[in-house]
Structure 1
């Protein structure tokens, strides 16, 4: 079994997602990026775009506008100014 990454997506209104995932792709202000388990720590601002969450072969897409992404040894947290699941 491959290692999993703990991921949380939080907006001012609520937590949209929290759990173990295979990969997350996000729209960084300096370019899109992907995060897997054991990624090197970093922090970046986000631009408007899509956050794609990969879990066991399924992809869930969220629309985000602004915010921050923080990768730590514990996982990835995205604090978005606005976020909602894509239709």
Structure 2
């Protein structure tokens, strides 16, 4: 049974899925400012600005640099569709 206090997140580029999993929180760069998403967040869609998407789960923190794209939050979780993205320490996708 899935943990209902977790947020399902998928971060994808046109080339591949960079991350998918259940997490505590995501912080992302929206065009109108940085925003955070937790489980059970109200649905919305926004355009992403260039910047860092931080994925937090317990004491684990992963940071992805994104350039362009959209974030969609709905009852199933959060999907980030990035034009370009890479995790720090990886080559740009």
TM-score range (shorter-chain normalised) is: over 0.9
Larger Rg: 2
Aligned residues: 87
SS at match of 2:40: coil
RMSD: 1.2
Shift of 1:3: 0.5
In structure 2, runs of 5+ residues without a counterpart are none
Matches for 1:23-38 after TM superposition, within 5 Å:
23-38=25-40
Pairing of 1:5-84 with structure 2 (within 5 A): 5-84=7-86
Over 2 Å off, 4+ runs: none
Normalised by the size of structure 1, how large is the TM-score?
Answer: 0.96
